[in-house]
Structure 1
């Protein structure tokens, strides 16, 4: 009996440690590499904007290809050579500086709910701030997407279902260049079903981009830009 109890205690401890480790978020690295002696390392993004939010079932913005999509709108005030995007659910205890707090996060930050993240980065046909209010008729171009990333922490389930992507500007293609303008983060689950839980979304850039704002609504984005 003592042996069984010891094994049970060790198992519970190991499970607890796995959950704790799942909340640890590493430095957000860019695709830019630098050789330091015999080792080649990726340089971290110099500018990282964090958004803490909550997705509730039935509050999706759009159903696309059978999946319930939610959006976070992003104003990028300058040309960027590269943008990185990553999402983790649940938000957990990841340390973030000056994070933007999205609707529903404070009321649900202690929730244990999480979802299998799937993310997209899209650029709109809106390039000036005065056109954002009329963005309902904007054209959206998907630049990149990601489902599972081994670079991200594992979820409490033990699965590597958090997401990360890096997108380098394609200056030779006007539709896929990272210009000043309105962007959005789209997120859902890989499998068809409800999206439910807290999340941390981060956008990174290898250059400083003062004035980046994020909101789950266009109205909220405009309010932040005042």
Structure 2
């Protein structure tokens, strides 16, 4: 009887491990354009994706907004884009992305099991020239939130089993300057849905359906300028 119980537990453990492994695997990043392939309709994958790997820790937030501790990743977009997609997952886990920018904080904490319930925003500033990108310029810039997302069923589940990772897509409105995706400085804001500390590794991606040579992502303005 004990032998049967042990075998059953081993099977359940193996299945659980397999499910958890699959749940944490990042899939292709599809855009708003859809294509029918046989009986299925799929989202056509973005052709240009820039990836940033980071680690968020308490006390290093950039701003407190509505009692939530916000962190920012700055993004320079060098050309007019018809659409932008943004997604974030925590923890990074075993996901490997070729060509990803790795922050020092991530490299120091890559093996950490900490993760957080991601909540993201895509914001555009009124800075449209590289020479205006300074600490003071960014601080005094006008920022507009174009889109936001909390939980996405398209993203891998977190180790807790909950679909608390985030994904958003934003289509440019060329006829409305306030809603257009112009050349300029953007940022991804992230925090947790609930008020509290943000702690853990994360993978953030910005994507477009066309090639945008020169897109740069960085956690600080200083690092952003180094990449321009």
Shorter-normalised TM-score: what interval?
Answer: over 0.9
Distance 1:11 1:189 in 2: 32
| 1:2 CA displacement | 1.6
In structure 2, C-alpha distance between the alignment counterparts of 1:132 and 1:171, rounded to whole Å: 24
Alpha-carbon RMSD across the aligned residues, in angstroms, is: 1.2
Residue 182 (structure 1) aligned to one of 185, 188, 193: 185
2:73 maps to 1:72? yes
> TM-score, normalised on structure 2?
0.95
Q: Which runs of 5+ in 2 are unaligned?
A: none
Contact 1:18–1:156, Cα closer than 8 Å, also in 2: no
Matched residue SS, 2:178: coil
Encode CA deviations 1:96-153: one digit per residue, 9 max, x unaligned. 1200112300010011111110000000010111111122110000000001111011
Any residues of structure 2 matched to 1:105-144 within 5 Å, and which? 105-133=106-134, 134-144=137-147
- Give the TM-score taking structure 1 as reference length: 0.96
Q: How does 1:137-216 map to 2 (within 5 A)?
A: 137-216=140-219
Q: Report the Cα offset of residue 69 of structure 1.
A: 0.5
Tell me the SS of whatever aligns to 1:104: helix
Shift of 1:39: 4.2
Unaligned regions of 5+ residues in structure 1, if any? none
- The number of residues matched between the two structures is 225
Alpha-carbon separation, structure 2, partners of 1:114 and 1:37: 38
> Hey, what's the Cα distance between the residues in 2 that align with 1:155 and 1:14?
17
Q: Give 1:9's aligned residue.
A: 10
Instruction: Tell me which residue corresponds to 2:98.
Output: 97
Deviation at 1:42, TM superposition (A): 1.7
Q: Which runs of 4+ in 1 moved over 6 A?
A: none
Contact kept? 1:18, 1:158, Cα under 8 Å: no
